[in-house]
Structure 1
Amino acid sequence: MVAELIKNQTNLYDTDYNLWVLETVKQLENRNFNSVDWENLIEEVLDLSKRDKRKLESLLIKLIEHLLILQYWQSEKERNKGHWEREILNFQQQIIRELEDSPSLNNYLNNKFFDCYQKGCKLASKHSQLPLNIFPEKPLISLEQILDENWLFS
């Protein structure tokens, strides 16, 4: 009987994810642990961390891209400065909010900083049509400075 319950839960996971979530929550609330699809639940919980990491990387890459185009795309600076600064502030605030919710991801983001910087350079180059080598090979400022909302606007 337990094997059939687990099989049914796994099938539900594959056929109706939302219903699987609702049923799993109900089983956990009712402390009906024998009916929980543990394999998929564990996978989903681990995936939450992966999603948060990917989101932080994506936000940091976009932040770096906008910082670089603000600094180096002189021909468009006057016309787009306000937009780019708003985007920079928006990305900073989103990253800070994510790190406040999960401070342990700070080390992860520090470890990914150089990789995110390189990806931000590529995006800034494509966005601006400036040659990639116009941007410094390594970041000139720290992650801490990039995330300081007052640093750029002081």
Structure 2
Amino acid sequence: MTSARPGPAISLYEADYLGWIEATAAALKRQDYGAIDWENVVEEIEDMGRRERQSLKSNLVILLLHLLKWQFQSDKQSHSCNASIVEHRQRLEDSVEASPSLKPYLETLLTKAYGNAVERAAAETGLSEAAFPQDCPYTAGQIMSKGFLP
């Protein structure tokens, strides 16, 4: 007769994420630091930072994409393109307002985001990537300036 061996224990974090969040928040409120799953708390906090930076990049790429389309397809300028510019500029402003430490990251991200925007602009417009400037033609200040259209 063989006895069944138990499998590896599954943590609350793996089994019930919401339950883990609620238990962790309750332990923090009680200041019961011994009950905290610190490894996963640290991982979640680091993930939160990555998500904030990724959201900033995503909104910057879309804003740059529409600025490029506005500038290089002036015959196809539309209210929806302008609305997208306004929306993604507001999202960037909201992100930087909520987390001011993102502002310097925005400037360092500009080159990579611009490259992504050029690739998408070429795909959406049918123009070649060579039709767009190699370096971003807009400053961070212009990009964030309400009403700026190239």
Give TM-score, length-normalised by structure 1: 0.87
Structure 1 moving runs of 4+ over 4 Å:
none
User: What is the CA-CA distance between 1:47 and the residue it aligns to?
Assistant: 1.1
Which of 89, 93, 96 is the equivalent residue of 1:96?
Answer: 93
Kindly provide the CA deviation profile for residues 50-89 of structure 1, in whole angstroms up to 9, marking residues without a partner as x: 1000000000000000111111124533xxx111000000
Task: Return the alpha-carbon distance in structure 2 between the equivalents of residues 131 and 121 of structure 1.
Answer: 9
Alignment of 1:53-92 (within 5 A): 53-77=53-77, 81-92=78-89
Task: Return the alpha-carbon distance in structure 2 between the equivalents of residues 74 and 126 of structure 1.
Answer: 17
Q: Which has the higher helix share?
A: 1
User: What is the CA-CA distance between 1:152 and the residue it aligns to?
Assistant: 2.4
Which of 143, 146, 150 is the equivalent residue of 1:149?
Answer: 146
2:52 counterpart residue number? 52
For residue 47 of structure 1, what is the amino acid of its counterpart? D
User: What is the CA-CA distance between 1:120 and the residue it aligns to?
Assistant: 0.5
Q: CA RMSD in A?
A: 1.7
1:108 counterpart residue number? 105
Q: Which runs of 5+ in 2 are unaligned?
A: 1-7
Q: Which runs of 5+ in 1 are unaligned?
A: 1-6
Q: Is the 8 A contact 1:57 1:112 kept in 2?
A: yes
Task: Return the alpha-carbon distance in structure 1 between the equivalents of residues 74 and 30 of structure 2.
Answer: 61
2:4 counterpart residue number? none
SS in 1 for 2:71: helix
